[in-house]
Amino acid sequence: MLLSCGDALIDFLASRTADGREALTPAVGGSCLNIAIGSARLDIPTGFVGGISTDTFGRMIADHAAGSGVDLSRATRSDRQATLAFARVTGTETQYAFYDAETASRNWTYRREAVALDGVTCLHTGSTTLVHDRGAAETLAFIEDARSTVTISLDPNCRPNLVRDKDAYRARMLAFCGKADVVKMSDVDFAYLFGDEAYAARAEALLSNGVSLVVVTRGNDGASAWHRQAGPIEVASPVVNVVDTIGAGDSFQAALLAALHRLDRIARQRLRGISAAELTRALSFACKCAAFTCTRAGADPPRSRELPAGTW
């Protein structure tokens, strides 16, 4: 089973009414929840760990996740309000305004007795959960308990508008990278954390520090990856008619982890021995799923049955 630990929220997406007025449409989101949903829709047993409200929006989140096949038995329900995020697309990037003070997601507490690890092969985390001191500390405690037997996946999914001290945040992300086996980030995340540093140079530094697989996604330009044994890999992204890019990175990560699971390369030792051909197949599948997500509004990753024949 894959577990995804972190944020679950409601995105409000910009739209227009029939008479042309601006409107906001609520949609379930949150990077870590999106990844759980994306993986479950690809027929991988998946659970979500984090805080989900019992309010109207929280019920919307829970219903959506359960409807996609995500196991919520390890999630924590509380009467704190749900996190809300207002999304606005600028060019090819989506910018967010977050309302998350004292919310169920932000106040999640790791309880060892409530998060069984039997049968868990991979734990994914990242995004807004790691911005705040409490969320980062609780997630780190979870990782420390899990990493002796479980592969750790990380996507920083940076949200600069939430960061108050960039140097401290960057140091925190590097510390979490040091605990991870798989590190994936977008080119925008990379630029925020590492500036003009060459992708390959940073990837080599992460690999030498214990990471097995480093991936940088580059939108229309596909994805680049580095692996200790398989070496550098480049894959292209399919050309599609883009509706928006919300959730594309999450869909990529969900599909990558799902592909590694299907290839029986998700366990730490098995991941270390992956071949270049296997890794290329996994990354190509992830790019195809991300591109598919871009063809419809909001974070709406594909189900296996929706993908064209031959995608896998």
**What is the per-residue pLDDT across 212-251, written as a single tens digit (0 to 9) for each?**
999 999 999 999 999 999 999 999 999 999 988 889 999 9
Instruction: Determine the Cα–Cα distance for residues 158 and 190; give it in Å rounded to an integer.
Output: 9
Count Cα atoms within 13 angstroms, Cβ side, for 267: 6
* Closest C-alpha among 254, 304, 299 to residue 94: 299
247-293 pLDDT, tens digit per residue, is 999 999 999 999 999 999 999 999 999 999 999 999 999 999 999 99
- Overall pTM surpassing 0.85 (yes/no): yes
β-bridge mates for residue 237, sequence order: none
Min mean pLDDT across 67-81, 91-105, 174-188, 239-253 is at 91-105
* Phi/psi at 224 (5° precision): -120, 140
Residue 74 has a CB neighbour count (10 Å cut-off) of 17
